Amino acid sequence: MLRWLLGSREPQGAAEKSAVYNINEEQPQNPYTELQALEGHHDIVRYLIKVDDYRFASAGDDGIVFLWNVQTGERLAELHGHTQQITAIAVLSRSNLSQQKSHRILTASSDRTVSIWDVDTGKQLHTLSDFYSTVKCLIVLECLSLWLSGGNDLRVWNFEWELQCKTDTFDDSGISAIIEIPKNCIVAAVDRELIIFKLTLPTEEYPNYNIIELKRLYDHQDNIRALSNVNDDTFVSGSHAGEMMVWDSLTGTLKADECSFWVVSPPADSHSGIKMLRQQNEVSVQNIISDGKYIFIAVGRGIYVYSLETKSVIACQRTAHDLNVLFISEVSSRQLMSCSEDGNVRIWELREYQPSPEASSGFFSMWGFGRPNKQASHVVKKKPESTVCHKLDLIGDLTGHSGAVQMFLYFEEHMLVTCSADHLVIIWKNGELESRLRSSALFHKLEQENGLQLCL
């Protein structure tokens, strides 16, 4: 749709070429036909975070945070304070007595500090520096007026930047992800373990906050790469070994799993055996999201759709990109976006179709991968003839970056923001809408100058 406008594209590393799903140049369902490149960073831009309906922040390996206006692309502030790369970012919002919201940005860095910034003034309000290792994740609990930092321990802070309590130090590499679950509980990913903590609130008898370990989940066989909420009752995790596990948030028990996204590959020649396993990075779960009905999983170069109702994968694109998919997000009902190390951003739509009579009775038997669900029956039932199948169709392909696209933000005003290893942030705009807005502004200006009388 859009070719590279700012320089030549170069390969992002050696990769085995495969039949990557492609799209024709005509993309009627892709609204993003205009782009605006934002310069300022001088290293990989890894993080984007939405502040409000018209502002967002970008951060990355140069240790700088930029605040931008998404509608105009104007740089609103440049926040300097870290001496090494930024490793986590979060937005903290507070309402005053008149219900006016003020916003703060929290940033963690490899320099073992966490900084708090005022979004409106760009000032650094506070710096916390008593960490023993890098803080890798931040989460804000607005309902409790608390925020948490995760590194080689888990710490709880109030909105006045005061430490309330913390866990013991972990002996391994520390916390890589945190999510909030019901009943003031937290799930933290530590290497291949999931640890559920309970946050106890102050009472008359015990006036201080406390954090208590409730349970450890040892089911994963490799380091956990992704952790996400599904709904109030369920969360999901994914590992480097291609394991996806669905958990009960209230009991901490395993509800379902899909532990192998390996594909049986044909032999390279008549003398070679069937290669049962792909390279490790091709089965690693990179990102997981959910809309409450489906779980969308980025595995290696592919995207998979898992149904919570049937407890099975119902659709996939095994080669959605040339290289690993780094980030996925649902942007509207049944529409999904993905970005990859190959420098592309792609738009997908989950569609239903009626299978042919010769279609296989099972998704995994068709593709030859995945082990049976632990809770599934060994008896394979014949699907009813009226069964509706699903597929992921590519409806848009955005080519504007020359490096790996790390993540993106979707704005309801038909705008998309991407960041990349090429040091750029790009705002993608709805070309048709932008054209109408420009025409309207031109007519309004001419009318004001008495150069044109509009007919009603």
Task: State the pLDDT at residue 24.
Answer: 55
Q: Quick one: pLDDT band at residue 97, thresholds 50, 70, 90? A: low
Q: Quick one: pLDDT band at residue 1, thresholds 50, 70, 90? A: very low
Q: Quick one: pLDDT band at residue 95, thresholds 50, 70, 90? A: confident
Q: Measured on CA atoms in the order 437, 442, 447, 452, is the torsion positive or negative?
A: negative
Q: Quick one: pLDDT band at residue 363, thresholds 50, 70, 90? A: very low
The answer on pLDDT for 14 being more than 90 is no
Q: Quick one: pLDDT band at residue 100, thresholds 50, 70, 90? A: confident
Percent of the chain whose predicted confidence (pLDDT) is above 90? 67
Query: Do residues 91 and 124 make contact, with C-beta atoms less than 8 angstroms apart?
Result: no
The pLDDT mean for the chain works out to 84
Kind of pairing between the strands at 210-217 and 193-200: antiparallel
Task: State the pLDDT at residue 259.
Answer: 73
CB atoms within 10 A of CB 127: 14
Q: pLDDT tens, 36-45? A: 999 999 999 9
Tokens of 455: 């007919």
Q: Measured on CA atoms in the order 66, 70, 73, 74, is the torsion positive or negative?
A: negative
DSSP codes of every residue in 134-170: ---EEEEEGGGTEEEEESSSEEEEETTS-EEEE-PPP
Q: pLDDT tens, 408-456? A: 999 976 789 999 999 999 999 988 887 787 787 777 777 777 655 545 5
Read off the DSSP letter of residue 70.
Answer: T
Q: pLDDT tens, 217-266? A: 999 999 999 999 999 999 999 999 999 999 999 999 999 999 766 543 44
C-alpha radius of gyration, the chain, whole number: 24
Q: Which long-range contacts (CB under 8 A, 24 or more apart) does 60-65 make?
A: 60/85, 60/86, 60/406, 60/419, 61/85, 61/86, 63/109, 63/111, 64/40, 65/89, 65/105, 65/107, 65/117
Task: State the pLDDT at residue 438.
Answer: 79
CB atoms within 10 A of CB 308: 19
The answer on pLDDT for 380 being more than 50 is no
For 29, 435, 440, 453, the CA distances from 447, given in Å and listed in that order, are: 34, 18, 10, 6
Please state the rounded mean pLDDT for residues 350-368: 62
Task: State the pLDDT at residue 443.
Answer: 75
